[in-house]
Amino acid sequence: MSEYLAAHYNTIAVPEYSREYCASLTGDCTWQDEVNMFHGQLALEKKLLPRANGILICDTTFLTVKIWSEEMFGSAPQEVLDELPHHPYDFYLLLDIDLPWQDDPLRNFPTKREYFMNVWHRELQALNANYKVVSGLSEQRYDNAVKAVNGFLDTISK
């Protein structure tokens, strides 16, 4: 979705840092790995921001580190918690769970999709984040994402 949106808006997408990071792991993810992914995601965003064309599309944010750390380790790194209120993202697209499950090395818990969807809602609401859930299959999903982003852009241009 992020690559599609970046192409649509003629800008750049920040990839999910954790995807590349985890691909190089030889064992289970550790607490330090979560901290490293937090710093890596922020550094990648900072590096790519100057190349953005008015809008920077991020595949994910470091809020994911908070959610996964809490799920896997019972708490999140303090530096992540400290940074959350100081590093707001303007708008989030929360992709609905209406697509069939696809196996992926970074996706765990296929039976807990609804649970994690609720976690994401709760976390975004706790941040008072501006977000929209994007549903739909195939092209409809992409169209709905563009409509959501356009709606957000319309509100900030007024």
Domain of 74: which CATH number? 3.40.50.300
Counting the structural domains of the chain, the total is 1
CA 74 to chain centre: 20
Q: What does the pLDDT look like over 20-48, one tens digit per residue?
A: 898 888 888 899 999 999 999 999 999 99
Dmax over CA atoms of the chain, in Å, equals 50
| Residue 6 CB neighbour total at 10 angstroms | 20
User: Residue 156 CA to chain centroid, in angstroms?
Assistant: 21
pTM: 0.90
Summarize the confidence of residues 114-130 as an average pLDDT. Answer: 95
Residue ranges of the alpha helices (H) in the chain?
2-8, 17-23, 31-48, 63-73, 78-83, 113-126, 138-157
Q: Is 34 exposed, middle or buried (0-12, 13-18, 19+ CB in 10 A)?
A: buried
Residues 58-112 have pLDDT tens digits of 999 999 999 999 999 999 999 999 999 998 899 999 999 998 777 666 666 777 8
Q: Which two tokens stand for residue 86?
A: 């100081």
Question: Residue 17 is part of which domain span?
Answer: 2-157
Question: Counting beta carbons within 10 angstroms of the beta carbon of residue 138, is it exposed (0 to 12), middle (13 to 18) or buried (19 or more)?
Answer: exposed
